[in-house]
Amino acid sequence: MNAVELTKSLRELGLGKGDAVLLHSSLISLGHMEGGAEAVVKAFLNVIGKRGTLLVPAFGALGIIPEVLKKRSDAVFSDCPVGTVAAVGAAAEEFCAGHWKADTAHGKNTPFTKLAEKDGWICLLGVDQDRNTSLHSVEALLELPYLSPVTRTFRTPEGEELTKTWSFYPGPHRDFIGLDRILLESGAMRVGRIGNAQVRLIRASKMFEVLLALGEEDPAFALCTNPSCADCVRQRAAIFAAEMAEESFRLTVSSRLAGRYVPEMIENLKRTGISLIELDYLQGKACALTPADKLRRAVEELAEAGIAVSALRVPAVPDDPAKLAGLASSCGIRRVILPLMNSRDAADVLKKAGVEVSFVNLCQSALSAKKAVAELAEKSGCDLTFNGPRFVQAGEMPFLQSYRIGHFIKVLRQLDVADCKWDGEATALACGNGEIKELVSILRCHNFNGFLCLGGGAAYPGSLEDAVNDFRDLLGTM
Ligand SMILES: [Zn+2]
């Protein structure tokens, strides 16, 4: 392979006079190249001519071809310490100007997005999509929640020392390789062979169009699905947390669903991006019956990991409400969930001790729950936790019957997000008779600002991650 042959191949692939092209390359991939990297640069400049512009990334370990271009006397640099490019040609100055002033390293007003505006190309010469820096531009333009800011102290082209933060900077792992097929099938990319190397020529504007649409639909479009990839698991968690922050309700999860031991609960909550937990069971035992020092340690450990307790759920009417109030207070738990029936006296004791009380329906019909709520409300107001599976087990349809019969909307402060069949068998969400989709939907329509508790007061047939995926899917179909 020599410069003449390479020039011919690049022309055949579609590169032409006046084009702007951002080149990511591996010289070794071409096999033997007469004249080495200099000849490659020469071939590209020949093809695009005097009106064209050749750009290369100029940060990190980039191989010999960018080095050759960087050393040219006519090379222009974009002077952004987190994403510099070097350029040669007609629009080199225009591409590079003010890169460091942009809000992000790869988004608006950077050489990467200017390339698309000028209808330029991205060329991957013997390298794959992992090297395609412009994919970071797509992430930055979408302002994806897993991206984070980066700060550097550097010298501006005018020689002034400056400390600046660029937002939406990319994280560690992404499955950019998985986007290759999409770019090819959408017509944004063509693939050829030059020497030994696979060459990908991508129309930048088309790539942005296709991937921005994909990212709008699925913000995890660039993440891998490997459950062992801690980076992508964490990045997915950030996406879910951002989605939940947009909702009016607050999402909490049952500790039984989160794990058996506290460290396991913390890891699972981190993996899913949830920062609230409802304490029902710890190591298979009711939290309400756990010694105070043990429960306090658990609450402290959770708090250190940034996880707050939304409530302590009590499985039965407490025999010693004063003791329960003491347990909650000494652990800093401000809200307790009690059975709706026969808990009035216990609730009074807890409320006197400054603990909020919510009542949950257990083995009862909506009519009896309605009566109990009315009696409580008459005296001092009632805060209801609505458990669909329990109404199912009472033979009712939680949305069509229970919710409507009870007129619970006024007192509802929590919805348990779980499902089961008439015979009590626990199912995934919207796979049983619990009408959970209808219940979640109606509460969203009311901009419900109470708690939704995943796996609250019910068994869940799967892991927390399964439950979160089911819940996301459920919201996705509304
Ligand atoms: Zn990954």
pLDDT digits (tens, 9 = 90+) for 329-344: 999 999 999 999 999 9
Per-residue pLDDT, 382: 83
β-strands 384-387, 356-360: how paired?
A: parallel
Ligand 1 center–CA 230 separation, angstroms: 7
Per-residue pLDDT, 1: 84
Say whether pLDDT at 363 is over 90. no
Residue 20 forms beta bridges with which residues? 53
Ligand 1 center–CA 105 separation, angstroms: 22
Ligand 1 center–CA 379 separation, angstroms: 55
What is the rounded average pLDDT for all residues in the chain? 94
The model carries a pTM of: 0.89
Angle between helices 262-272 and 230-245 in degrees, nearest 10: 70
Per-residue pLDDT, 156: 86
> Could you give the CA distance from residue 208 to residue 205 in angstroms, rounded to a whole number?
5
Question: Please, which residues have CB less than 5 A from ligand 1, an ion?
Answer: 173, 224, 229, 232
Ligand 1 center–CA 130 separation, angstroms: 12
Say if residues 98 and 105 touch (Cβ distance below 8 Å). Answer: no
Please state the rounded mean pLDDT for residues 356-373.
Answer: 95
Say whether pLDDT at 325 is over 80. yes
> Could you give the CA distance from residue 278 to residue 455 in angstroms, rounded to a whole number?
10
Ligand 1 center–CA 174 separation, angstroms: 5
CATH 3.20.20.150 residue ranges of the chain are 247-476
Ligand 1 center–CA 171 separation, angstroms: 10
Please state the rounded mean pLDDT for residues 390-414.
Answer: 94
Please state the rounded mean pLDDT for residues 238-261.
Answer: 97
CA-based R_g, the chain, Å: 30
Q: Give the pLDDT band (50/70/90) at residue 314.
A: very high
Say if residues 233 and 241 touch (Cβ distance below 8 Å). Answer: no
Say whether pLDDT at 378 is over 90. no
Ligand 1 center–CA 473 separation, angstroms: 21
Please state the rounded mean pLDDT for residues 223-240.
Answer: 94
Residues 423-475: pLDDT tens digits?
999 999 999 999 999 999 999 999 999 999 999 999 999 999 999 999 999 99
Per-residue pLDDT, 158: 84
Per-residue pLDDT, 114: 97
Q: What percent of the chain has pLDDT over 70?
A: 99
Could you tell me how far CA 184 lies from the centroid of its own chain? Answer: 26
Residues 238-248: pLDDT tens digits?
999 999 999 99
* Cα 191 to Cα 226, 258, 461, distances in angstroms: 27, 47, 46
Check: CATH 3.40.630.30 for 247-476? no
Residue 123 forms beta bridges with which residues? 23, 201
> Could you give the CA distance from residue 166 to residue 151 in angstroms, rounded to a whole number?
6
Per-residue pLDDT, 159: 86
Residues 176-209: pLDDT tens digits?
999 999 999 999 999 999 988 999 999 999 999 9
Residues 42-53: pLDDT tens digits?
999 999 999 999
Burial of 313 (0-12, 13-18, 19+ CB in 10 A): buried
Residues 52-107: pLDDT tens digits?
999 999 876 667 888 888 889 999 999 898 989 999 999 999 999 999 999 999 99
Please state the rounded mean pLDDT for residues 35-39.
Answer: 91
Ligand 1 center–CA 219 separation, angstroms: 14
Q: Please identify which residue in the block is written with the tokens 């033979």.
A: 395
Eight-class DSSP state of 458: S
